[in-house]
Each structure stands twice: as C-alpha cells, then as structure tokens.
Structure 1
Amino acid sequence: MGDLLKICLKCLKELIKSISPLLYLCNKLSLKKTGWLLDYRLKPQWVHQYIQFLNNHHSSLKIHFLDIGSRDGIEDSGIFSSLQWLNNKITYGVEPDPEEAEHLIQKHAYDKIYTDAIAGYTGEGTLYIPESTPAFASLGIELENLKSLHLSCASFCEPMKCVPVKVKKMSEAIGSQTFDFIKLDIHGAEYDALASLDDSFFEKALCFHIETCAIHFFKSEHLMGDLLNFMHSKGFVPLYTEPLPFDGMDMWYNITFIQNPAKMTTLDQCLKHCLIGFMANKPHYVAYILRIYQEKFGVTTELDPIFKLLRSPSIPPSFYEKKFGTPKHT
C-alpha cells in the first residue's frame, strides 16, 4: 500500500509540473505553508531573460570564461553555451591542434585562443586525434587500454592523427589571468592541470565544469575521488552532475563545481552565482543565493526581476543549506 501511495504521489507531482498555471499556484501555496518550491525545470527562455536582465541593468558586470578543450566555440561549451547572449564577457579557448585552432580563429569563436596543450607538466607531447571524432583528442592516450574497454571504442581510435605539440602546466599557460567560469575537457588530465594552480586562482573562480567521463577512459576510476577531495579542499562543492551512459558501460558524470556561496560579499558575485544556477537549470540554487544575499545585505528591489523569473513571491529554504549552512547576518 505504501509503495502504491508513493507512485500515486509521484504521478500527481509530475502532472502538476506539466501544467504551468497549476504549478504556479501550488508553488505559491507551498511557499506560504512550508517555504519550499516544488521541483521544476527552468524554461530556456528564462535563462535568456535573465541574461537580458544583466545586459540591460547590470551592463558593467563582466564574465571571464575559459574553455579548455574547445570544440566549435562558446555555443558548443555545454552549460556555458548561454554565455553567447551575454554582452559583457571575455572568452578564452584552448586548442593545441593547429588546424582546429586556425578554424576557431577564423570564425572568431573566442576573444583569445591559447594554442599550447594544457596538462600537469611542461614539455613536449603528442596530441592523438581520432579522425572520426576529433573532439576526442588526447595527450598520451593509451590506445590498447582504450580499445579494450569496449569494442565500439576501437572504431574511433583508428585511424589516428598524431600531432607534436608543446605542453604547459595550466598555471604557466594562462599566466596571471583569472576567470569566473572554467570548463575542462582534456581527457584525463583535468586533475593534474588543476593541481598545478595556486590558491589565488581558486579564490577568484566561481565555477568549474569538469567533463570527468574521460578520467575513466584514460586514467583510473579512483582518480575521481582524488578530484572531489581536491576541489573540496579549495572550497568547491558539486552543484550539478550530468549522467553520461556510454554504450552499455557504467554511468559516468560531468560535474559542475561551485565556490561556497557563503564567501559571497558583493552584488556582482550574487548575480554571477544566479547566472550559474540559471545555466545549470537549478532554480532552487538561484533562490538560495538570493536568500543569502538578502540575509547578509538586506532586502533590495534590484533583485525583484530575478524573483519574477523564478515565479517566487518569497525565497524558499533549500537543501543547499545542508551543504553550506544556514545564512547568517554579517
């Protein structure tokens, strides 16, 4: 009987979420009584509307975005693709393959392109590029190990183009430049690259999106635990995970890490955290950020348009408090 009730409640919840006016009404009632929002997904146009709000009313807010493992420009950068609509931004791409780098330069895909391969060491290396899937390029790929994982892996391992490249530690490749948002997709070298950075880089950054699937391919699965512990030691926690089932193999994840929002001290940081929440489709996180800001600095009408986008008459508590603690006045 208990299981049947759970199934019925789940079906009812899904029905409510599928009918926008009913969802809006239930959100209002739920907020009034419990302080919680029903779970729902942000509509793509809400993300665009929030970015337009930033363009119109906070035009001085600037985002520095680094895309390590560039594919075809910012519009192909996963959860950060929405940044293409933000006016005030500087974008940086990393592409060691000369042909691909030239393609990105010609189409003005980024404001600046780094052409050194990024890893955890400085020296020479070989970039292995599957001709069928060039986005799967990697330094030091172990072909036999990769092909042994699954028969279908062999098809995109051959034929393979080998390009000699210069390799730099991430800290040397980017110099003293700091970034708000960073995407890493460098096929197993993510942990080594991050470990080469000093603490000041992590103090300035707000969000890392790491495509961890390749860690299982090219390194060892236990490295995932090392990566999680390392990011936690730098004050970052997972906000969003994207499952990636691959051809019947175990499920892996892309992970979005965020800096602990308890460190937030300015309106610009609040707006950037909200932008992360919108892009990652996490309305509860956006609401939590707004609540922290108002708890710290008082109620302000500057944030009203964001509340309207969330369809929230007030700010709900969130399970994010379990990660970061209840916000306190300063």
Structure 2
Amino acid sequence: MTAADMTRQKLTVRLCGPRGFCAGVDRAIQIVVLALKKYGAPVYVRHEIVHNRYVVEGLQERGAVFIEELSEIPEDHRDCPVVFSAHGVPKSVPADAQNRNLFYLDATCPLVSKVHKQAMRHHRLGRHVLLIGHAGHPEVIGTMGQLPEGTVTLVETVEGANTLERPDGAELGFVSQTTLSVEDTADILKALEDRFPDLHAPAAESICYATTNRQEAVKKAAPGSDLFLVVGAPNSSNSRRLVEVAERAGAKRSLLVQRASEIPWDEVDGIRVLGLSAGASAPEIIVNEIIDAFRERFDVTVELAITAEETENFPVMRAIRDVELTSADMAFVNGNA
C-alpha cells in the first residue's frame, strides 16, 4: 500500500446482486447482433432496443439504424430486417410491417408478451381491461395496442383507482406493466379491489422477476448508505424505481447516473458507504467504470448485497439461431464490453 492509499478516505461499496441486464434485455440485444451477423448492415430497429444509450450507440457502431416509425425505412432498404424493441409494440406495427413487405424480428421480452396474452384473455372473456402502469411508456403503449381502442383503461395512481368508473357495467380484469414490482402496484391494486370486489386477476403472475429481484437487492444494500447510485437511463422505468426504493429503504440520498462522468464529485466528500446497483438495461461495464472512478478517489472495499441468483434464459427466434457469435460479440451482448 502506498502513502497515497493510506491517506485516502475509506469507502465501502455495497454492490447489489442481481443488477444490470435481465434475460429479456440480453435476448433483445442478442437478436440485433445476430441479425447483423446473418444479414449484414443495416438492420433497422424500431425504437431503442433497450433504454440505454451505451447499448444503442454500441449497436449503431455495428450497423444498426434506430427509427421510430417503419415509414423511415428507405424504399431501397425494404429487404433489410427490422427489429421490434424489448418493450413490445401494438398489433398495428407488425401489421404495418406486413403491408410494407418488411421482414421483421420481434424482440419483445417474453414476459411482456405474457402480459399481452393475459390482456387478450380478459378481453376474450368479455372483460374490460385495467392496466396498471405509466402513461407513455413503450410497454404500456404496446400492451394497450393489443386490444381495440376503448377496451383498456390505464390506471396510474391510487387516486385514479378511487375515481375510476366501471365502463358500461362490464366485468373487469387487470394486468400490470412488468417493470413495476408487487410493492409498486400493491396500493393501486388494493384500491381497485376495494372498489370492484369482482375484479379478475391475470391467469398467471405478470410481474417481472428481474424487477422484483433488483428492488430486493437494493433494499438490502440501502440502509445506512450515505449515497446510493443506480446506473440507468432517465427513460428507464425500472431504473427510476430503484432510485425511489433506495431512498425508501434508508439511503440518505439516491441518484440515477448513466456514466461515471455524471457523478457529482463535489457532493460525495465525507461519504463512508456507497450503495450501487443497475437497472435491467444497464451494462456491467458501466458498473465497473463507476467502481474504478471511486477507487481513484477512495480506498474502496466492495461488499456484495446478494438476494437472488438469476438463471433465466430466453432463447432467440429460430430464424437466427444458426448464427455463431464470437467471444467479443458475447461480451457485448452480456454487457461486459
């Protein structure tokens, strides 16, 4: 140990596990990389494949072109693949792709697809669907777009649940945005159940395992933390929720950062315990970047706050399973490069 090391302030970093990429994100990124390997550039991607600029820019460097609408694909590129993001899309999008004779690969997370099926089941059984979620989120737009207009009502808050009127005396069934945990939806659901005792639950649990696991790890690491950092994008619902969970669980302060460059170094003097996690679309390489940045300024000891081991794996579609990825490709897909 050098003299400089001896004079530096000691800092304990409580590193959460699980953190970062979930199986759905891993699958979505892998689909784009495999499509580029099999079909060549460009591969078009409708909307950000996942909510993370590092990942998006990495895919752009490989030849992915991100668009918001299928109409942006040039006429002479209609034979190029287009990938739908992990958040899911309304039924109108694949229908539009078929009308344009586009070849598309749907990277919707299987857990989001499960919610789509649950909503469609409610509708098939004659129920009006209540969707607990956040307005404007791509997953919510995609889920509402599975059913005819007017057959789904979005419920964002307890207040909204308490003032909701039953549409035309219809039976009601609910589903939830996957990036909300059981705890996130509990108060809204209770209000709905109090108001509508005959409310039908989904046929199966729709809460994402990754959302719950990451929140539980944050709850373990947050108590006594002087500062809690969550790696994630501002438009990432699950990342923003982790910031809130950390503060509720006892962190003195919690911040969302996309890179180490966003850390407010002038405000971290005197901290002794740092909590650190990452949203489901944040790569591990940025977590390591942040730990290294603290090592440059503090005498760091890393402690693990692990609450679960994740072994889920969602396979890609058959059309691209025959493509082999290099070790460098896999490092990028797994968030390590």
TM-score if structure 2 supplies the norm length?
A: 0.29
TM-score (norm 1): 0.30
Structure having the higher helix fraction is: 1
